[in-house]
Structure 1
């Protein structure tokens, strides 16, 4: 544990530092003023600060402790020769983790430090749990809003096509009936994908995202994904595939890899003009599989790229193009589970290239 001592009587400070080192604590710095304490805290990020209240120059210990709490969330124990009610009331405002009256015994100091560190750890765990709870509550709220919107369209499609087939299907040609059957099928696929995405995000947030790497025919698997995407797109775009290197011996989680590739290919198709090409490249080298999906679509601004992998975030230039903002967050999580890397290169109006690098074997 790193401790920072703020004491303007250097003989006392050095003696205290020596005692603390003897107790097993690390004391990388002793400073005599509040200003130096703030600078040193920013540099070394101590676990605890022992702060004299009555500092002679600049800020006193109470003001310094308040700033340290606000800026760094570092716990502080006050050391002072004053026990009057006025000083105590002022000290309370800084929310210290301890208050020792000089002179104090080494045992008292050790006890105060141990209690302060334990309390800080408990509060930090509580703070993180609260942040997690707030995040999950926000995630749930955003999902409900998204589901209400994004489920309505495919459900409406299914309802209208079903009703039309029910009343007029017997009068239509086989070709016209087939159009409506395809509309229903595509709507179901859209809803299934949405549910899969939400379940994937939920599992990851709950820490229950399974990772089951198995031997995989990587090139064959990629070709299968490409064919599925090409059929689902009804050949409105051309997916040009290129494979190179020796991909034998690949060991990956097929379900997670499917999420990665389908989401990236789906986005490439969705944000590219009809008739354009999407380039898919798989290169195996140096025990790595390098996937690149490149489109010639609308592109992503530099500002949007900073938040691109956050759940529910969508780029500002997508307009009326449908989407949930979950796909890239899922790609990132699945890549991280594989201990891989994900990067993006894009310019507005000049297309986007996503690169995923995964370990080829276990």
Structure 2
């Protein structure tokens, strides 16, 4: 109801001011506020608001329930109770005033808006029907005295009824348009737990049409089986009291789509009374992308922390290592050739060299590096790489299959960096097949979100990767190899290189069923300078 006048009765000044700001932003007219029951009655009589938001617990001798009772009896104004309490005795008292809604604190602006609109809509409908009944009663008296005017009165009555029906249809259509343009799903349940409203965003998120859901139990459609029993127990309490552990809260929970997949959602629930029965209104937000962004952000934070930590340790390691190396060189000058001491010192020197190499590799990984990209034909790059390793693969009984799509456009990459990534992936695939197997490399043009890209896949028939290790593959120092032969920078470095090219890299695998690494690189024509963090 546009520009509806609302009176706020709340003894907490901060909450009253916050409600006033929120409601004004939604287009409502605020007719002041009151902090006590007595003040609320006086202001209601003076300003005649369209709706009263009433806190149940108020300062003074009169609480919100008594104030609401007097306002309702005198003015017939719809009242929505606001409270942070869920006392059953308090609820029973509140029922006497025939409230149009009951919202538990804390609540969201959307919940408040929907509850107010539903209350105003209900009140307007009841008022129209009441007016219509009064008109009909008066006309019945008139027609009794004037039988000759019966036909004319009936015609006029039908016209007015059609006008009322048209007005109601227009109001319903207005509400439907508001909810259908919302980005979040709006779902309404009746007192039996059946779906009574299902907007377009709900169709998009869950895959069910409105016709398929209205009248169906929500527990059978979108609630995971492991939560259904608790949902049914909670709803039994809610339908009697309008109170539940999730009412008035925004929580992250899991839901089921039509295809059976489980997705994370943010759910906000509120309660509203319709025809003296509690109904639930749920606002659902799909948070899949937000969760993916949070996961990616945590990965980047972890990588940055490791880089900061390791970069500070390198010099602390190399300085004493150089001193040790110098002393070993001096000792080698004083021992006999072929002696056991010489062998031991040479062994120490080899290990020192190994530590130096590992440390320098880490230094290269942690330093920010810039490189220039040029247009590269991805199929040609892969042909050059595979030609250098194919003979070694044959000697290890590994078959190489190439499925390159012809006519792919050139992409802007640094060929040296990409060569390192591809060689590392081929090496990993071969190492996963000690008894031989097949490596398949494919290229294909793709489009994602209107953005053209080239997709490169590396698939092997090796031992595969345990499910719990998939998300750790691109972490620095992580390795699935039982015998560690390096510092574990391969895939983490590949991840950084692909990311710096504006691309993505992902892994699909099951233990014992091989693995597939997918790289998506954008198609760009402009030469540029890129940095690897």
What is the TM-score when the length of structure 2 is the normalising length? 0.36
Which of the pair has more CA radius of gyration?
2
Whichever structure has more strand as a proportion of its residues is 2
Pick 1 or 2: higher relative contact order, CA cutoff 8 A, min separation 6. 1
What is the TM-score when the length of structure 1 is the normalising length? 0.47
